[in-house]
Structure 1
Amino acid sequence: MKALKIFPALLAAACALGGQAHVFAQDWPSKPVRILVGSAPGGGTDAMARAVADRLGPLLKQPVVVENRPGVSNTLAADVTAKSTDGHTMVMGVSTAHAIAPHLLKLGYDNNKDLVPVVFVGAVPNVLVVTNSLPADSVQSLIRLAKAKPGQLNYATSGAGSTQHIAAEMFKDQAGVFITHIPYRGSGPALVDLVGGQVQLSFDTMPAVIGQVKAGRIRALAVASAQRNPQLPNVPTMAEAGLQGVEMSAWYGIYMPAATPKAVQDRVYAEVTKVLAMPETQTRLGAIGADLTPMTQAQFAAFHVAENKRYGELIARKNIKLD
């Protein structure tokens, strides 16, 4: 993986930061650490959080507990974290909450001031998947079906304003079709209904759908990325399938309350970077199609700003609104 070529130097720097942070934050953590997740179990954010938490606890010498707080386009967990004062709460942020929702919702916290980006974890592509009973075996046949049945095909998302929602709106715009949005409180329940045929399609993230696709319970028609994904090598990109301009990936990273001491941020950055460099973690997340190319904390902060600008412009240009 490309990440393996970059991690050694970054890991060395992280270890140095970890040593410095230890001097100034020797008593942290003094109790169990919480990683909040803004969606239900079974989705990409949950998978990322648990992969980190499982290895982070021994490094911090305290339990690291994942808590699911689904709702409000993944922002409920971010809201709780932003207002937390216990010094031991962080959120596994996702682009839905930290780059998309701020342009669609009135939040109870300031996305750019009340939370600080600490560690970039990785990114995964969205995938167009359909229920097995749907008579469409390609993107083009799906478009023909949707045009023949305007408004009768339903697409599931993990919530309004999610990457799934934005990807579907881009698809509708480029394909010239009308499909109906059915928002859920996370990818887990959305996929249950997709497998059961209650909804016909979804543009969910790779970690959420890869197991169901490989088990043959749903079908993947295209990946919404510039290149094919190694986990689904026979599935074309949207462009290869004849639909230009539909590219969408979800990214994940740990955010902490802005009042968190820099020494503690440095400790979290150092230890999570160690976790991400572990072969077991890279294998686990690579199996769900994740790109783990690392960033420094400063790079992550700049990326946060750039992604907000990109999505803000995209949402305004395509006049995307919540249902």
Structure 2
Amino acid sequence: MKRRSFNTLLSAAALALSMVAPAAHAAWPDGKTISIVVPYAPGGTADALARLISQHLGPKLGTSVVVVNKAGASGVIGAQAVVQASPDGFTVLYDATPLSINPHLQKLPFDAEKDLIPVTQVGVTPMLMTVHKNAPFASAQDLLKAAKASPGKLTFGSGGQGTVQYMAPELMNQAAGIQMLHIPYKSGGLALTGALAGEVDMGFGNLPAVSGHVKNGLLRALAITSAQRNPLFPDVPTVAEVIGKPYESYEWNGVFLPRGTPAEIVNRLNTALREVLAVPEVKAKFDSLGSRIVASSPEDFRKYLSAESARWAATVKAAGIKKE
């Protein structure tokens, strides 16, 4: 009788352990540091939001989280580093819109659709169409009218091919039936410096990057790329309002893992990130930047990426941009 009771106790203990083990495995049990790779320079929107999220993500997963900047080639270098990393959940990519644009502009050393697993779309940030404070355009309509009257004469600047600051104006030009000359700079920061110096007629800048210059009067905001007006700039019309056609464009931010990462890790990270994005402090920061939290499922993010890729492919083709 005693032996039977002892055996029953052992069986119960074994069952309990078997139930605990999968949960521990799904979390990051060995306590290694998670590296969030941001493939852009420090100081940008993606970098700022990745650092904000990392502060709250570590406690959710029971381990430390660090942000590593690996900039270069419009995000290609950092993304490739994650593609080549071990699929164990300890190397995470925090990327943005160039990941959807680059495949249509240059030959890449990886296939983002096949080599990366979407975890969640973190959020979207609109852009402001801005001009120098002394520009002769009182409104976006004035600028578009001048562009239509002199095709290819007016200029717009960006951080170069692969950036949404280049492709979003091209998308607007096509929708509005105008032509403007693209002036590429070596980085988004240099493009902003050029805009502040009046070197170009117009530029699209991420709202967090240019809003301060608009508020202090160095730049004037003529339109915003979101579908609705933004609470931070309620008097600035949307591009869609200006051109009278559907238009919206954003810099999206999202999280990815290398191909081959177990589904339980993907789902665990998705859950943790969505919990982080629901934290009031995090939401308040997004609101202050003019960004909107999305916090999607992996499948919804995959569908969004597919639609984005198709849109930018069509934009590149219509603009006649040659693949490098």
Q: Does TM, normalized by the shorter one, top 0.5?
A: yes
The code of the aligned residue for 1:177 comes to Q
What is the CA distance between 1:248 and its match in structure 2? 1.4
Provide closer, same or farther for how the CA distance between residues 233 and 73 of structure 1 changes in structure 2, counting only shifts above 3 A: same
Cα distance in structure 2, aligned partners of 1:296 and 1:20: 25
Q: Judge which range, 148-157 or 269-278, deviates more.
A: 148-157
What is the CA distance between 1:278 and its match in structure 2? 0.5
What is the CA distance between 1:152 and its match in structure 2? 5.9
Which residue is 2:259 aligned to?
A: 258
What is the CA distance between 1:295 and its match in structure 2? 1.7
What is the CA distance between 1:27 and its match in structure 2? 4.0
- The equivalences for 1:171-210 within 5 A come to 171-173=172-174, 174-185=176-187, 187-210=188-211
Which residue is 2:112 aligned to?
A: 111
The code of the aligned residue for 1:234 comes to D
- The equivalences for 1:1-323 within 5 A come to 22-28=23-29, 30-85=31-86, 87=88, 88-97=90-99, 99-146=100-147, 153-173=154-174, 174-185=176-187, 187-242=188-243, 244-321=245-322
Provide closer, same or farther for how the CA distance between residues 260 and 205 of structure 1 changes in structure 2, counting only shifts above 3 A: same
Matched residue SS, 1:108? coil
Matched residue SS, 1:113? helix
What is the CA distance between 1:143 and its match in structure 2? 3.1
TM-score (norm. length: structure 2) = 0.82
How many residues of Structure 1 are paired with residues of Structure 2 in the alignment? Answer: 303
TM-score (norm. length: structure 1) = 0.82
CA contact 2:273–2:295 (8 Å) conserved in 1: no
- Which structure ranks higher in relative contact order (CA pairs < 8 Å, sequence separation ≥ 6)? 1
Cα distance in structure 2, aligned partners of 1:288 and 1:67: 22
What is the CA distance between 1:322 and its match in structure 2? 6.0
Cα distance in structure 1, aligned partners of 2:110 and 2:200: 33
For structure 1, list consecutive stretches of 5 or more residues without a partner in the other structure: 1-18
Provide closer, same or farther for how the CA distance between residues 225 and 35 of structure 1 changes in structure 2, counting only shifts above 3 A: same
Cα distance in structure 2, aligned partners of 1:29 and 1:215: 50
CA contact 1:22–1:267 (8 Å) conserved in 2: no
Which residue is 1:10 aligned to?
A: none
The code of the aligned residue for 2:292 comes to D
Q: Judge which range, 292-301 or 225-234, deviates more.
A: 292-301
Provide closer, same or farther for how the CA distance between residues 111 and 147 of structure 1 changes in structure 2, counting only shifts above 3 A: same
Which residue is 1:8 aligned to?
A: none
Cα distance in structure 2, aligned partners of 1:193 and 1:168: 16
Provide closer, same or farther for how the CA distance between residues 221 and 165 of structure 1 changes in structure 2, counting only shifts above 3 A: same
Aligned-pair identity in percent equals 34
The code of the aligned residue for 1:110 comes to D
Provide closer, same or farther for how the CA distance between residues 211 and 33 of structure 1 changes in structure 2, counting only shifts above 3 A: farther
CA contact 2:277–2:283 (8 Å) conserved in 1: yes
Matched residue SS, 2:242? coil
Cα distance in structure 1, aligned partners of 2:101 and 2:182: 20
Cα distance in structure 1, aligned partners of 2:257 and 2:179: 40
Cα distance in structure 1, aligned partners of 2:30 and 2:216: 41
Q: Judge which range, 36-45 or 107-116, deviates more.
A: 36-45
**1:238-285 Cα shifts (integer Å, max 9, x gaps):** 132245354312211101111222222222112111110001111101
Matched residue SS, 1:203? strand
CA contact 1:81–1:257 (8 Å) conserved in 2: yes
**1:199-218 Cα shifts (integer Å, max 9, x gaps):** 44321222322333233332
What is the CA distance between 1:48 and its match in structure 2? 2.5
Matched residue SS, 1:109? coil
Cα distance in structure 2, aligned partners of 1:265 and 1:254: 10
What is the CA distance between 1:116 and its match in structure 2? 0.4
CA RMSD of aligned residues (A): 2.7
For structure 2, list consecutive stretches of 5 or more residues without a partner in the other structure: 1-19
Cα distance in structure 1, aligned partners of 2:323 and 2:183: 10
Q: Judge which range, 107-116 or 213-222, deviates more.
A: 213-222
CA contact 1:124–1:206 (8 Å) conserved in 2: yes
**1:32-78 Cα shifts (integer Å, max 9, x gaps):** 22222222233332232122122223323433222222332322221
**1:115-165 Cα shifts (integer Å, max 9, x gaps):** 100111011222211222323231122235556776565423233122211
Provide closer, same or farther for how the CA distance between residues 320 and 179 of structure 1 changes in structure 2, counting only shifts above 3 A: same
